[in-house]
Structure 1
């Protein structure tokens, strides 16, 4: 892409070479570290800048909403492009679980024995160690390990894992909507989107009745994912340009004191990311890797270790040192685990498709004979 972006269809923007959304995922992962540091290494007089400015959200929570928006946009686009549920499940399976499994097992069987206040044998003989592995892999999140981080301000081994079951649930609901034909009917999809967006305003009494509307950090995840999904569905009719960028922020300015100002704020952030990610400057910054998931998975345990050893150094030290170490672990996770598993998932999908095609051909031949 050369020159200055004037107007571009969303369908063109979300093509891999036309954007640098990867850098926004990485920024979001680092925002999580920044925001969590105030809980893990609290320091008097220090406060999350975003929370201080807008009042209704902090940087870590906004980062998760960014993740869900981008996920809704990308995975919906992928599902609609491939029209293959099996391939979708395989790609999600190989994308999410390998790095998660390694993080969970390493935390329980390497970090745990090194950091626990229990003896080595007492730790390894505790059922809680193995339930930590089993439950977290199967989306029943367990935060504690015996004797680990018990003197920290937060004793959770990995407090970031709570978002993953919600993301997996979003994938399942998306697939169900696809299988029912909702995604192919834009009007039905738009009606469903409006219901999901309105849910938190009505106390989650329509669809997500098991989610408390009082906790906006959770209740807004579905609308953010749905916003990404509906943009993917209408991608051929949506244009993003500098006027879109300015227009959403003008709307937020005028409605900043309304009861629903947070909707306008998130909307402005998401549209701005889409626009900025396509500018020539950001395209040139596109990294050859996507380490955001690895950074996200490793950030909290790293921050806990830093807090345990250097809590006296304060929140800024935790933010900076944890960011550096999380990026290193993210790079290791990407090149050693994630990249290879993504490729393995693609190869497995191709193999499975070939096997299915051969099976259908053999059945057809037998039927003809």
Structure 2
């Protein structure tokens, strides 16, 4: 049966969120194959066409999907259960990844003697900074010294914004503001704020843009969830947004329209019948592990074979990342989700969304 609204599409027994997240995580690894070897984040064809790398577009999709699904989680569970669920999904994976990179990868690849490496303050500061502030440009002593980037966990910076968005959503729910009207107003304010910033500062820095970009994408995903029963699951709004984005490229409105297009497109695609098939449902959710471990594995391969081209290292890096992500899922993430399921078992939903 054809779904008329996003809500009806979501009510199907299956959806494409898991396979979409897997595709987005893989896209990040593909994108980093270029930047890890060259040191230029925009060193790929898509970046030259749109101003953003394939990895950046994939992160945009991640944040839109996260906003949609996390708003659904908050609606179905109370604040305490929501916090527990988010913590058990994010923290175990990044804690273990940080320890593995620091205490296994670092000693294996550092130029320093092992005793000197372990006695240096660097590894322990790296653990502290990564786990307390999600600092992604921190380095380890003698590790990746000749790589364009020295950071061994270059993707964790987005987790800071993810956690802040989680907290913002929770605050909105507790304040009774997680409703259709306020959600739409927030999306409009962020989009117009970004356009105004781009108008006033044509050379808007990447950091300033990110502070608008990721909350806008997350808020757009959340708003799409809140409007799910009133919003038709149609392709023509996506086509109009894409057309407007293409026509206004080079203007202050371009970025806001691009991010709104990507947010709508990600949710629309995840709820399309073509992806809502059991055969496409991954048996293991490897997306988070791929996102965490893709960068250190690509950094390691480039350090070991610095003369290899990005295309030559892409296949082995993808294979190794998939294997490590599978190990992370089996030994860390899946047990954490089981713990979450046991902790939440038997609790009645206590919605904070009105």
TM-score, length basis structure 1: 0.84
C-alpha distance after superposition, 1:278-328 (max 9, x if no partner): 344323322122211110000110010110112212111232221221122
Deviation for aligned residue 1:347: 1.2
Deviation for aligned residue 1:92: 0.5
The equivalent position to 1:9 in structure 2, one of 5, 8, 17, is 5
**1:93 and 1:34 mapped to 2: Cα distance?**
28
**2:182 and 2:242 mapped to 1: Cα distance?**
29
CA change 1:278–1:173 in 2 (3 A) is closer
Tell whether the 8 Å contact from 1:12 to 1:18 is kept in structure 2 after alignment. Answer: no
| Corresponding residue of 2:56 | 61
**2:213 and 2:99 mapped to 1: Cα distance?**
30
1:39 aligned counterpart, secondary structure? helix
| Corresponding residue of 1:361 | none
1:144-293 equivalences under 5 Å are: 144-184=139-179, 186-203=180-197, 215-284=208-277, 285-293=280-288
More off after superposition, 35-44 vs 280-289: 35-44
**1:333 and 1:12 mapped to 2: Cα distance?**
34
1:160 aligned counterpart, secondary structure? coil
Deviation for aligned residue 1:129: 0.9
For the pair 1:125 / 2:152, whether they are aligned, the reply is no
For the pair 1:317 / 2:312, whether they are aligned, the reply is yes
Deviation for aligned residue 1:58: 1.1
Deviation for aligned residue 1:187: 2.0
| Corresponding residue of 1:102 | 96
Aligned-residue CA RMSD (Å): 2.5
**1:16 and 1:95 mapped to 2: Cα distance?**
24
**2:242 and 2:186 mapped to 1: Cα distance?**
26
Tell whether the 8 Å contact from 2:221 to 2:267 is kept in structure 1 after alignment. Answer: no
Q: Which runs of 5+ in 2 are unaligned?
A: 199-203, 349-354
CA change 1:16–1:313 in 2 (3 A) is farther
**2:258 and 2:337 mapped to 1: Cα distance?**
34
CA change 1:173–1:131 in 2 (3 A) is same
C-alpha distance after superposition, 1:247-296 (max 9, x if no partner): 33333344345432233333333333333333443233221222111100
Q: Which has the larger radius of gyration?
A: 1
Q: Which runs of 5+ in 1 are unaligned?
A: 205-210, 355-369
**1:154 and 1:16 mapped to 2: Cα distance?**
44
**1:29 and 1:113 mapped to 2: Cα distance?**
27
| Corresponding residue of 1:359 | none
CA change 1:342–1:43 in 2 (3 A) is closer
TM-score, length basis structure 2: 0.88
| Corresponding residue of 1:38 | 34
CA change 1:292–1:344 in 2 (3 A) is same
Count, aligned residues = 339
| Corresponding residue of 1:207 | none
Deviation for aligned residue 1:183: 0.6
For the pair 1:72 / 2:67, whether they are aligned, the reply is yes
**1:195 and 1:118 mapped to 2: Cα distance?**
51
More off after superposition, 287-296 vs 321-330: 321-330
C-alpha distance after superposition, 1:151-186 (max 9, x if no partner): 1111111111111111101111111111111014x3
1:133-148 equivalences under 5 Å are: 133-141=127-135, 143-148=138-143
